[in-house]
Structure 1
Amino acid sequence: MESTQLVILAGLVIGLVYGCVGLLSGFCLMSSMRGWLAEGDGRLVRTYALAIAVAIAASQLLAGRGMVDLGKSIYLQPTFSVPVLFLGGLLFGYGMVLSNGCGSRALVLLGRGNLRSFVVVIVLAIAAQMTLKGLIAPARIALVQASQITVGANSLPSVLATLGVTGVVARALAAAVIVVALILFAFAHPAFRRSPGQVAAGVIVGLLVAGGWYVTGYLGADDFNPVPVTSLTFIAPIADSLQYAMLSTGLTPNFGIATVGGVFAGSLLTSLATGRFKLEGYSSPRHMLRSGTGAALMGIGGVMAFGCSIGQGLTGISTLAVGSFIAVAGIVLGTAAGLRGALRVQPLAVA
């Protein structure tokens, strides 16, 4: 099997597993923060924290052993725009609250029969494509060019290296501090410790991120037919999937498109097998408008931030990139603003 075919097949399998786990566990940053900030239930946010810890530990282990060059990913670039990354994160986070979930969650819910998520996926894909290559792209590029900076240390290990810590030790130290802190945060919660399903979900999702790096960075390494080094992310892949569905002639599937298809299929099969499949729609035109607006903000913001709550929140953070921490800070603040405070999104009745 050629390396590209292997990468596509592996992307499909990773997506299938994520779709199954996402449906059964409710894995989602927005749901996690809503449960923590608004409802006083901290289990889901611990699941997310554990997933980050596992993703960092496994991904940095692969990089440390020379199996994957994370420097080839989009996250570890020497030049980036702090304002655009942060603003993109804010837009994505607030849009996530308006739409009641991120892009990956929309795919999972779509597989369960949630037709609201169909609108979210389509609008997100169109807005993302407009920001990547369409009408909004010139403005985005101009903002980036006006505010980008070149940094000598674009990751936490490289920051430690500037302080005199050697490369290998710097990688291990940076990863260990974050991983230990996240694991302590997760397991300090008694309800989380009593939720084996949530613990398993965090571990599996974290390993899927590392699996994506392994597939594209190691199994897909081919000097004659290279594939981009990437892992779980959903903004650009959802946009590419819509374009591929419309214009497949002349286009080729890739890891991201296969993952998107796998997530939907995994959720659909799981919902049918467990009796969770149920067609759902909007409760009112206002509900649809708000959901579509949130999807547009997620598409635009996700492109500006170089990723979503999964693409930056897990995959980007697993590289320990400085830019990823900036984008995630924006996503978290945008989500918090939508859940609490003066800009809080008021709940609507859902049919």
Structure 2
Amino acid sequence: MIDLAGWAERLGDLNLDLLFGVLTGLLLGFAGQRSTFCLRSAMVELSRGQARRRFAIWLLAFGAAILAVQAAALAGWFDSDAAQLMRQPGTLSGAAIGGLVFGVGMVMARGCSGRLLILASTGNLRSVTAGLIFALTVQATMFGTLAPARRLLAGLWTTGVEGNVDLLAATATGPLGGAILGVALIALAAFLARRHEVSVTTGTWALLTGVAAAVGWITTYALSQVAFEPITVESATFAAPSANLLMTLLSADAVRSFSLGLIPAVVVGAFLGALVGRELKWEGYGSAAQMLRSMSGGALMGFGGTLAGGCAIGAALSGTAIFTASAWLALLCFFLGAWAGDWIFDRRAAETHQQVRVQR
């Protein structure tokens, strides 16, 4: 048994919290890169009625996150009531509106926030640009010119309780019900993965991508039980941490925390994954129109993800794994937004282009 209290005393509570963020980020970055995990690709496949390879990979990670977190709860290693996402009031209007905006944005940027960070780590300059716009917009939405709009939209419809709504408690199913759902989702994902020739190696990395979200919850919860300093019980998310990291780099005023270690570690993990797979490659924009679309998508994701209370990782993986109502609503609206964005920017444009070719 790990003497966590002893490690906290030797290293310091905040340093250990930072280390847990690094460990979670390394796993998430490496596994996410090797598995090609991407919410945008999965949602586009689903919206077109073609739940294939990309959807199977995402569903493996999604099911693994749920199963790992709920199994930890059953074992007494985690309590969702202590999670920051569960303790703060949930905004359902924010989840719905922000989810729709985020969904459209990730189609325009051709990648969800998590995928952009991973691709940026492998030499994709398009993702670097869109990711920086994402981080700047998050900062503006949290504390800047867009903050009044966020507060207005978030206040339209809240959970009406002190904290968020725990769907497992509300349905009286508890962690066991959540674990059973996780097993069912993994079984469905495994069926789709086999049908669409997803390799065992890729599938394993997809499962570990989901496990990374559980690692964050479990480690920060365990530390919060023995630490003298107040420790936030949290897991992987890219919205708020990306803005905080950006401001830290600009001001050099670092506050040691899980989130501070997370994003740099994801970058390193994804880089190592691409290095192992020999997938490092410089890529840029092919046209000004492509650049404008990508940057606009990054801005929409920044505003939408902050308003929704989480991004493709924070809400759709970490948040859903602990069954907060706002996270599940955000996930639904991510899909609806992706469906709308795909129809507007890709499918309709392709149909118009095809019609023009036929007429010629």
State TM-score, norm by structure 2. Answer: 0.86
Contact 1:338 1:345 in 2 (8 A): no
User: Which of 153, 158, 182 does residue 169 from structure 2 map onto?
Assistant: 158
Listed as ranges, the matches of 1:315-330 within 5 Å are 315-330=318-333
Contact 2:35 2:203 in 1 (8 A): no
Cα distance in 2, alignment partners of residues 147 and 60 from structure 1: 28
Corresponding position of 1:248: 252
Amino acid at match of 1:253: R
Q: Which structure's residues are more often helix, by fraction? A: 2
Contact 2:20 2:220 in 1 (8 A): no
Please tell me whether residue 26 in structure 1 is matched to residue 36 in structure 2.
yes
Please tell me whether residue 191 in structure 1 is matched to residue 195 in structure 2.
yes
Please tell me whether residue 203 in structure 1 is matched to residue 207 in structure 2.
yes
Corresponding position of 2:340: 337
Cα distance in 2, alignment partners of residues 193 and 59 from structure 1: 28
- Larger CA deviation: 333-342 vs 11-20: 333-342
Please tell me whether residue 45 in structure 1 is matched to residue 55 in structure 2.
yes
- Larger CA deviation: 73-82 vs 49-58: 73-82
Contact 2:34 2:202 in 1 (8 A): no
Corresponding position of 1:238: 242
Corresponding position of 1:164: none
1:34 Cα offset (Å):
3.3
3-state SS of paired residue (2:155): helix
Cα distance in 2, alignment partners of residues 199 and 273 from structure 1: 17
Query: Could you report, residue by residue, the CA deviation over 1:326-349 in whole angstroms, capped at 9, with x for unpaired residues?
Result: 1111111111212236885747xx
**Alpha-carbon spacing, 1:328–1:39, altered in 2? closer, same or farther (3 Å):** closer
Amino acid at match of 1:158: A
Contact 1:7 1:220 in 2 (8 A): no
Cα distance in 2, alignment partners of residues 342 and 121 from structure 1: 20
Please tell me whether residue 84 in structure 1 is matched to residue 73 in structure 2.
no
Cα distance in 1, alignment partners of residues 347 and 103 from structure 2: 12
Cα distance in 1, alignment partners of residues 57 and 337 from structure 2: 20
1:129 Cα offset (Å):
0.7
Corresponding position of 1:290: 293
Contact 1:9 1:258 in 2 (8 A): yes
Cα distance in 2, alignment partners of residues 247 and 63 from structure 1: 39
Query: Could you report, residue by residue, the CA deviation over 1:151-171 in whole angstroms, capped at 9, with x for unpaired residues?
Result: 49812222123xxxxxxxx21
Contact 1:97 1:345 in 2 (8 A): no
Contact 2:92 2:329 in 1 (8 A): yes
3-state SS of paired residue (1:93): helix
Contact 2:124 2:283 in 1 (8 A): yes
**Alpha-carbon spacing, 1:342–1:298, altered in 2? closer, same or farther (3 Å):** closer
Cα distance in 1, alignment partners of residues 118 and 262 from structure 2: 12
1:232 Cα offset (Å):
1.0
Contact 1:337 1:343 in 2 (8 A): no
3-state SS of paired residue (2:41): helix
Cα distance in 2, alignment partners of residues 96 and 345 from structure 1: 17
Instruction: Compute the RMSD of aligned alpha carbons.
Output: 2.3
1:228 Cα offset (Å):
0.9
Cα distance in 1, alignment partners of residues 158 and 239 from structure 2: 22
Cα distance in 2, alignment partners of residues 136 and 11 from structure 1: 28
- Larger CA deviation: 213-222 vs 101-110: 213-222
Contact 1:99 1:120 in 2 (8 A): yes
Corresponding position of 2:357: none
1:127 Cα offset (Å):
0.4
Contact 1:32 1:44 in 2 (8 A): yes
Cα distance in 2, alignment partners of residues 308 and 345 from structure 1: 26
Amino acid at match of 2:231: V
Cα distance in 2, alignment partners of residues 48 and 321 from structure 1: 19
**Alpha-carbon spacing, 1:252–1:337, altered in 2? closer, same or farther (3 Å):** same
Contact 1:50 1:202 in 2 (8 A): yes
Contact 2:89 2:158 in 1 (8 A): yes
1:147 Cα offset (Å):
2.7
1:91 Cα offset (Å):
0.6
State TM-score, norm by structure 1. Answer: 0.88
Contact 2:93 2:155 in 1 (8 A): no
Please tell me whether residue 299 in structure 1 is matched to residue 299 in structure 2.
no
Contact 1:157 1:174 in 2 (8 A): yes
Please tell me whether residue 54 in structure 1 is matched to residue 64 in structure 2.
yes
Contact 1:91 1:334 in 2 (8 A): yes
1:293 Cα offset (Å):
0.5
Please tell me whether residue 117 in structure 1 is matched to residue 117 in structure 2.
no
Cα distance in 2, alignment partners of residues 345 and 5 from structure 1: 51
1:74 Cα offset (Å):
3.5
3-state SS of paired residue (1:147): coil
Listed as ranges, the matches of 1:131-280 within 5 Å are 131-151=141-161, 154-161=165-172, 170-189=173-192, 190-192=194-196, 195-249=199-253, 251-280=254-283
